[in-house]
Structure 1
Amino acid sequence: MSGAGERAARVAERAARESYGRLVALLAAPTGDLELAEDTLAQAFERALTTWPRDGVPDNPEGWLLTVARNRQRDLWKSAAHRRNRSLEEAVDAGLGAVELARALDELDQDRIPDRRLALLFVCAHPAIAADVRTPLMLQVVLGFDAAGIARAFAVPAGAMSQRLVRAKRRIRDARVPFVVPGRQAMPERLPWVLEAVYGCYALSFQERGEGASLAGEARHLAVTTARLLGDEPEAWALAALLTLTSARAAAPGGPYLPLQDQDPGTWDRGLIAEGEAYLRRAERPGRAPGRFQLEAAIQAVHCARARGGGTDWDALCTLYTALVAIAPSLGGRVAHAAVIGRARSPRAGLALLEDLPVERERFQPYHAARGDLLARLGRGEDAADAYSRAAALSPDPAVRTFLGRRAEEARGPRAGDPLPEPRPEG
């Protein structure tokens, strides 16, 4: 690839990473047709990769992409195949150009949400969108994850997740769900799905160490921005605490994978630990039961306490995980609960909890990793090796695959029963 081609590719990649969600929102605003917006934006990116190396990268790449995609939309709307669709014709006849549309959408943002991606997350949490698809929709449309990665996080088949997303986009189009940023008073009711999407972004980034480190940083920024924007929402502060405390002990990109118990606490970021603990204190409400993210952040605080020279308080972890699965029995939380019970109480007790999980467990990598560890502790080497091998096959991270493959080999030898790979967050 020539120098001009490489520069064009870098600029296009940056635009896709930083502006994709905003561009889709602007393109979908007139009609709510997310599928058309995504298709025409994809065509604009394809044209950019052909045109920019020859003509040079424009001064405003995002504006160029928006204009090309909008022109393509107009061509489609005015084609014979679309002429009978009155709503689309009305959108064209309204005469909103790209600049006017962008200005109009910005003016609707009365509260001036400081991060455009965060604003779009609140848009996609509209009550008219089915609750079970709001978070996957945000992960794909705003945060840029593909359906296959989202499906892994939710432990569902990739085809089923793709169909769910397609149906949601068509409902938005057909029902004319307004692509408008809500006012401050409407944000608390949409907040749970926004927090889930930010958490999902961070969880998925665990599987992509390298660029994943950048995605994790963006997710933490969104969590802290949300908490500061809303001011007094305890679960928003708790999510900021959770992601900050987890980031404090994140491994450097490209290095070997180490489970939590094998990590050296001396390498953890003390500044981020202090920051995360401060956020967790802001989430506390005397007399009010803690929410899901507050419990998860407290679990991370127990782990991070090792940085002050102490050991792991397994009794506290058992108590916190038991409370967590009582109020939020997600698959990831239940696997982590079983792993901790198996470590702190008995492997048989942990395995019993794992066996009670629904059939979706078979597609969930942490389930097989936890099962491998507990089987190894019981001396069932061949069964443990099979579980580790299954976990390795389901992991998209080469470093984790290498680690789990080594555990599978060790399970057949004399060193079975080493510490468990840290349970992954669930999106």
Structure 2
Amino acid sequence: MVAALARNFGDLDVAEEAAAEAFATAVERWPAQGIPPNPGAWLMTTANRKAIDRLRRERKRDDKHREALMLVDHDPPELVGVIDDDRLRLIFTCCHPALSMEAQMALTLRLVGGLTMPEVARAFLVPEPTMGRRITRAKHKIRAAGIPYRVPSADDLPARVVGVLAVLFLVFNEGYLATGPDTDPVRADLTAEAIRLARLVHALLPDDGEATGLLALMLLTEARRPARVWSSGELVPLGEQDRGLWDRALIDEGHALVRARLASGVAPGRYQLLAAINAVHTDAADARDTDWSQVVALYDRLARLDPSPIVALNRAVAVAEVDGAEAGLELLDGIAARLDGYHAFHATRAELLRRAGRGVEARAAYDRAIELAGNTAETAYLARRRDELG
């Protein structure tokens, strides 16, 4: 984009400032007005106008100004750079290394990922006003630091791919189990778009283990979607799903990617381990055949890479399958303070309390989970489980 502007106006400084102003305008307008059908064309047109405005203000370079007026083109520009996709190009551009990883992710989810502010906040497990302030600070840094809108080159991609993968992972998660009460419980549009973009990233960086791992994780998770919600609108947990409804083609593709990474001999990263865990689940013909010891071992490795409370929560579920409900509850006690506002923590605790025969405590945990949950299918499932306690 900068190169095209520089060719149009004959001045690199004008081109860079116009591109930066166009990007800043997008940051301001897109959250309120929505992402335009062709983001790249919108940015190019806006940058052209910004450049023309600057030339007018300076009252210089009259000949170039007249030339620029003829060069404004409202048709989509030709694709440039190594990323042959408008949305993915914008995601890589927004994941600028000058911003913190958290700011990259939040800003990109809001502007390009198609998530609302409440959805972004829930993805980070923080209140909406907190997330709003983080995004505002990121916008201010873009302006103050004069961060230019530059389409990344091939050499830039490895430094930005970590943020890009994190954004795609969170977009997929919102589609897999939508957090808002006013949306469908499963948003196939988001999961499909996340998978499409993950395929493109994998094609761009075929040797990046985490890009491969994330694609495998998405495919193995998406394969279960046909069995995840009853016709009544109630969520179906993994152990109760009709595995005959799972998409075998997606499972086979996901397993092949996991095996390829294992064969590489390179130590796996976070997404590769999550994909391997899902490969264990989808490899079992029946829930009772699941190799829970292997799942625990994989979570042990993941916890060393990512000692987050979410990983600890999922590990506790696996430990409960191997060592019993009380063992899982003991682990949950250690993360209770950090996840008190997270509905899945209370839902997990309710199930384990139920299995341990502690019905009164289980009912209270179900109530708390229902209070916090936004997904309608999940709420229906939790309410039924609670009411079955009598």
> Residue 14 of structure 1 aligns with which residue?
none
2:315 pairs with 1:337: yes
> Residue 348 of structure 1 aligns with which residue?
326
> Residue 191 of structure 1 aligns with which residue?
161
TM-score by length of 2: 0.81
> Residue 222 of structure 2 aligns with which residue?
247
Spell out, residue by residue over 1:244-273, the C-alpha distance to the aligned partner (whole angstroms, 9 max, x if none).
011111136764310000001111111111
Shift of 1:276: 0.7
- Cα distance change of structure 1 residues 405 and 347 upon mapping to structure 2, 3 Å threshold: same
The secondary structure found in structure 2 opposite 1:127 is coil
- Cα distance change of structure 1 residues 93 and 34 upon mapping to structure 2, 3 Å threshold: farther
- Cα distance change of structure 1 residues 33 and 388 upon mapping to structure 2, 3 Å threshold: farther
Q: Distance in 2 between matches of 1:384 and 1:309?
A: 23
Amino acid at match of 1:99: D
> Residue 233 of structure 1 aligns with which residue?
208
- Cα distance change of structure 1 residues 257 and 135 upon mapping to structure 2, 3 Å threshold: same
Q: Distance in 1 between matches of 2:95 and 2:34?
A: 27
Q: Distance in 2 between matches of 1:149 and 1:325?
A: 26
> Residue 13 of structure 2 aligns with which residue?
none
2:281 pairs with 1:307: no
Q: Distance in 2 between matches of 1:44 and 1:146?
A: 12
2:202 pairs with 1:220: no
Shift of 1:308: 7.8
Q: Distance in 2 between matches of 1:245 and 1:201?
A: 16
Q: Matches of residues 30-49 of structure 1 in structure 2 within 5 Å?
A: 30-32=19-21, 36-41=25-30
2:272 pairs with 1:294: yes
Deviates more, 1:212-221 or 1:360-369: 360-369
- Cα distance change of structure 1 residues 61 and 177 upon mapping to structure 2, 3 Å threshold: closer
The secondary structure found in structure 2 opposite 1:155 is coil
> Residue 384 of structure 1 aligns with which residue?
362
Shift of 1:282: 2.8
The secondary structure found in structure 2 opposite 1:351 is helix
Amino acid at match of 1:338: A
The secondary structure found in structure 1 opposite 2:374 is coil
2:125 pairs with 1:155: yes
> Residue 200 of structure 1 aligns with which residue?
170
Q: Distance in 1 between matches of 2:37 and 2:351?
A: 50
Shift of 1:330: 2.8
2:99 pairs with 1:99: no
- Cα distance change of structure 1 residues 264 and 29 upon mapping to structure 2, 3 Å threshold: farther
Amino acid at match of 2:225: A
Count the aligned residue pairs: 357
Shift of 1:193: 1.0
Contact 2:110 2:116 (C-alpha < 8 Å) held by counterparts: yes
Q: Distance in 1 between matches of 2:195 and 2:106?
A: 18
The secondary structure found in structure 2 opposite 1:361 is coil
TM-score by length of 1: 0.74
Amino acid at match of 2:199: V
Q: Distance in 2 between matches of 1:279 and 1:34?
A: 36
- Cα distance change of structure 1 residues 336 and 165 upon mapping to structure 2, 3 Å threshold: same
Spell out, residue by residue over 1:296-328, the C-alpha distance to the aligned partner (whole angstroms, 9 max, x if none).
001111110123897111111111111111111
Spell out, residue by residue over 1:396-423, the C-alpha distance to the aligned partner (whole angstroms, 9 max, x if none).
211110101111222x33xxxxxxxxxx
RMSD: 3.6
- Cα distance change of structure 1 residues 176 and 372 upon mapping to structure 2, 3 Å threshold: same
Contact 1:33 1:173 (C-alpha < 8 Å) held by counterparts: no
Q: Distance in 2 between matches of 1:296 and 1:94?
A: 55
Q: Distance in 2 between matches of 1:319 and 1:227?
A: 27
- Cα distance change of structure 1 residues 40 and 70 upon mapping to structure 2, 3 Å threshold: farther
Q: Distance in 2 between matches of 1:178 and 1:358?
A: 43
The secondary structure found in structure 2 opposite 1:114 is coil
Identity %: 35
Runs (5+) with no aligned partner, structure 2: 1-16, 58-64, 179-183
- Cα distance change of structure 1 residues 267 and 34 upon mapping to structure 2, 3 Å threshold: same
Deviates more, 1:206-215 or 1:115-124: 206-215
- Cα distance change of structure 1 residues 118 and 330 upon mapping to structure 2, 3 Å threshold: farther
- Cα distance change of structure 1 residues 360 and 166 upon mapping to structure 2, 3 Å threshold: farther
Q: Distance in 1 between matches of 2:360 and 2:119?
A: 30
Runs (5+) with no aligned partner, structure 1: 1-27, 47-59, 84-91, 414-427
- Cα distance change of structure 1 residues 225 and 378 upon mapping to structure 2, 3 Å threshold: same
Contact 2:251 2:282 (C-alpha < 8 Å) held by counterparts: yes
Spell out, residue by residue over 1:156-176, the C-alpha distance to the aligned partner (whole angstroms, 9 max, x if none).
111111100111011112211
Q: Distance in 2 between matches of 1:345 and 1:121?
A: 43
Q: Matches of residues 310-329 of structure 1 in structure 2 within 5 Å?
A: 311-329=289-307
- Cα distance change of structure 1 residues 93 and 305 upon mapping to structure 2, 3 Å threshold: farther
Q: Distance in 2 between matches of 1:230 and 1:195?
A: 12
